[in-house]
Structure 1
Amino acid sequence: MWQPKVAVYFQEGGFVLMRKYIPNQHGAWAMLILPFLFGVASSKGQFIHIPLFVCWLLIYLFSFPLLQWVKTGKLERYLQPMRVYGILLLPFILYLVLAEPKLLGFVLPLVPLFAVNLYYAKTKNERALLNDICAILAFCLIIYPVFYVGKGESWGAATELFLLSVLYFIGTALYVKTIIRERNNIRFYYGSVLYHLLFAVAGLLLFLTLLAPLVILLLRAAILPKTGITAKRTGMIEIGFSLMLYVSVLVLYF
């Protein structure tokens, strides 16, 4: 269908603008949200969870252009989104620090993990598995401050959910690589399947009530890479798997 050149120009301009402000890493959204929800599930819903989530979201939105700047060196392209998100972020940080000063302590483990992300961005090797694992650990650590401000009673339950999140997202990173960058690497495929098999076996010891969803994740890792599924569809379907795990935790775990 024919479109006026002006319309096409504005559509393309809007797309470029969205790429500057909205991260295109689909899997990161699940890592941003699921551990936070696990933290709420292991504690009690509190009003402070709302500004804490907004702060967590803005930290992610700020860090994405920051990493892109470090990777590309194009400060002029990423300065504006960093400025916008930084300005939006400051009042939330100030409110949370005044309301719960001990939240600052939960930031400390994030510093070395983000330093690794900066290193891999600088070396343009952000697809490295170690970089993925450090990012996963950083995302999953949000469980603890969410649990703390939610006045949770069992740090053991929070730690179990932290481990569940980390193991799930590491498995997801391996599985996604078998579809995209390692799709022709049969050894990597078998490594991913083996990891999910061990994850399911670990479920017998750590997360017995969650064995069924862990087996489903194993089948996902074994079957879907053989179907020729696209990266975009993989990201969309992964939202469903994340939702399955969250509902399973709510229904079976607590």
Structure 2
Amino acid sequence: MKKGYLPNQHGAWAMLIIPFLFGMIAAKPVWLHAPLFLVWLLVYLFSYPFLQWIRTGRTALYGTPMLLYGSLLIPSGVAVLVIHPALGWMVPLFVPLFLVNCYYARINQERSLINDLAAVVQFSLIIFVVQQAGGGSSGEVAAELFAISLMYFTGTVFYVKTIIREKHNKKYYFYSIGYHLAILVMTAIWFPLGLLIPFAVLLGRAIWTPRMRVTVKQVGILEILFSVLITCSVLYVYLT
């Protein structure tokens, strides 16, 4: 596909899919989740050229993708809101976080830690939307899964930076290890013990992988495996 149509941050696809699955776990799968996921996908696809347009001002490159995805997003979003109007009350939750993304795109600092964390929170919030769409009544389970999503993806932000942009920054390496150790302790105290294993594996990832000579492609492949691990662990803990 031509440049400007598909995001080039492959790790973001996991943030798109996994919290959505968590939201379905917090409720139950219903038919409305299919069109809701389509809307969620279109929001993501639209946001990529939109943010790149803010960053570069290149309308010739990003204008057509914005028009394409926007023309699909508006009727799809309206249709979902007509079916389930209560979901509209959750839209304002995303706006301030997206404005943060817009700001960092404008100043060409999209790799900023604050921008990454805003994206993590934004993607994780879909859990509550999906739960609402599925008629879920357990806000406690949704809150737990939201916290797990935040913990996992924030850890991934720290870890990936120690591999790529901050690979020569020893302080960042220790920040990453300290963060992963802290979430392991939090898991032992507040979350089901079945999650200790995947978070212990993630701690090992934070310690050992930056010491290895791995390519960006290898990091991406490993992240797919870690994403599957955390997803399967959550499925097992909350559905059995």
TM-score by length of 1: 0.92
Letter in 1 for 2:219: T
**1:95-114 superposed matches below 5 A:** 95-114=79-98
1:233 has 2:218 as partner:
yes
Contact 1:209 1:253 in 2 (8 A): no
**For 1:14-52, what per-residue CA distance to the aligned partner results, in whole angstroms no more than 9, with x for missing partners?**
5xx1x3111110110000000000000111110000000
1:80 equivalent among 64, 84, 89: 64
1:31 has 2:1 as partner:
no
**For 1:35-89, what per-residue CA distance to the aligned partner results, in whole angstroms no more than 9, with x for missing partners?**
0000001111100000000100000000000000000111111000001111111
Q: CA deviation at 1:167?
A: 1.1
* Cα distance in 2 between the residues matched to 1:158 and 1:97: 21
Q: Determine helix, strand or coil for the equivalent of 1:109.
A: helix
Bigger mean CA offset, 206-215 vs 35-44? 206-215
* Cα distance in 2 between the residues matched to 1:48 and 1:181: 40
Letter in 2 for 1:161: L
1:130 maps to 114
Q: CA RMSD in A?
A: 0.9
2:133 maps to 149
Q: CA deviation at 1:169?
A: 0.5
* Cα distance in 2 between the residues matched to 1:55 and 1:233: 31
Q: Determine helix, strand or coil for the equivalent of 1:47.
A: coil
Q: Determine helix, strand or coil for the equivalent of 2:4.
A: helix
**1:8-23 superposed matches below 5 A:** 17=2, 19-23=3-7
1:115 maps to 99
Letter in 1 for 2:203: L
Consecutive unaligned residues of structure 2, counting only runs of 5 or more, are: none
Contact 2:23 2:128 in 1 (8 A): yes
* Cα distance in 1 between the residues matched to 2:89 and 2:62: 29
Contact 2:28 2:136 in 1 (8 A): yes
2:228 maps to 243
1:59 equivalent among 24, 34, 43: 43
TM-score by length of 2: 0.97
Contact 1:39 1:144 in 2 (8 A): yes
* Cα distance in 2 between the residues matched to 1:58 and 1:232: 26
Contact 2:23 2:126 in 1 (8 A): yes
1:40 has 2:27 as partner:
no
Letter in 2 for 1:157: V
1:216 maps to 201
* Cα distance in 1 between the residues matched to 2:78 and 2:32: 13
Q: Determine helix, strand or coil for the equivalent of 1:126.
A: coil
* Cα distance in 1 between the residues matched to 2:47 and 2:58: 15
Letter in 1 for 2:100: V
Q: Determine helix, strand or coil for the equivalent of 2:136.
A: coil
Q: CA deviation at 1:253?
A: 3.1
Q: CA deviation at 1:209?
A: 2.2
Contact 2:25 2:238 in 1 (8 A): no
**For 1:106-129, what per-residue CA distance to the aligned partner results, in whole angstroms no more than 9, with x for missing partners?**
111100000010000000011110
* Cα distance in 1 between the residues matched to 2:26 and 2:152: 18
**1:127-206 superposed matches below 5 A:** 127-206=111-190
Contact 2:187 2:195 in 1 (8 A): yes
Contact 2:101 2:118 in 1 (8 A): yes
